[in-house]
Amino acid sequence: MIETIKIGTIRWHHLIAPKEEELNFLRENFHFHPLDIEDCRSKINQRPKIDVYDDYYFMILHFPKFDNTNTFIKTKEIKIFWGDDFIITIGSSPWVVAELFEQAKAKLAKKEDLELSTTDALLYRILEKLMTETQDLIRLIGNHVEILNRDLFGKKAEKMIERISVTRRNIILLNTIFKPQLPLFQRFESGKIEGYADNMEIYWGNILDYYQKMWDMIEDYQELVEGLSQTFDSLQTNRTNEIMKMLTLISSIVLPLTFITGLYGMNVILPLQDYSAAFWLVIGLMGGLSFSMIYFFKRKHWM
């Protein structure tokens, strides 16, 4: 269903998971290019882009969002038709833009002034809301990295491996989302996307500043989580080496004792076998040998 609100001379249409009849309505009433309608019909995420036409712009933008478990980040796609007197936003499910649309509708119902006189201002409001929500999400990822750094020296290795893997996966996805869109927002700030209102360069520059700041944060977190991963791997390798060293030392001590017990367990004539105190002599020999080896290992700082 197409929902519409009127802000002065501007009409904002919002669609969630549009059906064929709604797409036909857009094609027949706005005469959008068939390829743009096809992009709106597709259920697969398209590559971020902005297409420039004589009487409108068509944008596909990607932003991150946590899944229902607040564990993994997934890509949310928003499609925007932007004309002189209309904005059309299309999403696959209720999200930030839908919330902003509902807020605007509620304010209009109360006859509050939204202070929007051009579609450029409305588009800026939409993009700014998306940027602030995304910035909060990236800061949450940064908190996850800080917690990993704090808990790095804990003893729960399997849990730490899982947390590092999830955080690394989320940061990689953020990188994948942000990288192709940076040139797109640079086109706004540079004036290559002219829009329909004057003196919007500062506002588009602010959007680019948001985006550039978030991009820098993502790169910093990516370097941090890679460093944490390498440090954790080194710690686990060192712990494994310490365990193997201790097991080797124990085996070295037990080996001669095993040889002696095996020797005296043979059914052959051996020295001292008829001596009444032979058992205690052998035990003393084995004890002395053990303590001698332990002393030697400690002196060599192997233990």
257 lies in the same domain as 202: no
Cα-Cα-Cα-Cα dihedral of 147, 150, 154, 160, to 10°? Answer: 30
Residue 28, both tokens: 């027949």
Do 132 and 273 fall into the same domain?
no
User: Which of 193, 216, 237 is where one domain is finished?
Assistant: 237
Q: Give the phi and the psi of residue 78 in degrees, each rounded to 5.
A: -125, 130
User: In terms of domains, do 25 and 70 share one?
Assistant: yes
Specify whether 102 is located in the same domain as 181.
Answer: yes
Q: What is the pLDDT of residue 241?
A: 82
CA neighbor of 64 nearest in space, from 143, 167, 178, 145: 178
Predicted pLDDT of residue 218: 92
Residue 277: the pLDDT is: 75
Range of the structural domain that residue 214 is part of: 3-237
Residues 199 and 158 in one domain: yes
Per-residue pLDDT of the chain (303 residues; tens, 9 = 90+): 788 999 888 999 999 988 899 999 898 889 899 999 999 988 888 889 999 999 999 999 999 999 888 889 999 999 999 999 999 999 888 789 989 999 888 988 888 887 888 999 999 999 999 999 999 999 999 998 888 888 877 667 678 888 888 999 999 999 999 988 988 888 888 888 888 888 888 889 899 999 999 999 999 998 888 888 888 777 778 778 888 888 888 888 888 888 777 776 666 666 666 666 777 777 887 788 888 887 777 877 777
* 185 & 282 share domain: no
Q: Are residues 10 and 158 in the same domain?
A: yes
If you search the block for the tokens 């996966």, which residue do you land on? Answer: 169
Examine the fold and report which residue of 188, 203, 237 is the final residue of a domain before the chain moves on. 237
pLDDT confidence of residue 274: 67
How are strands ordered across the β-sheet holding 10-16?
3-7, 10-16, 86-91, 73-83, 56-66, 49-52
Residue 75: CA atoms inside 13 Å, Cβ hemisphere, count?
A: 19
Answer yes or no: do 20 and 151 share one domain.
Answer: yes
Check residue 248 and give its pLDDT.
83
Count of domains in the chain?
2
Q: What is the pLDDT of residue 95?
A: 85
Which pLDDT score is estimated for 78?
A: 93
Q: Residue 79's pLDDT is what?
A: 94
> Per the structure block, which two tokens stand in for 52?
């420039």
281 and 196 share a domain?
no
Rounded-to-integer distance, Cα 102 and Cα 198, Å: 28
Residues 229 and 249 in one domain: no
Mapped onto helix, strand or coil, the DSSP state of residue 123 is helix
pLDDT of residue 58: 95
The full 3-state SS of 57-92, as one line of letters, equals EEEEEEEEEECCCCCCEEEEEEEEEEECCEEEEEEC
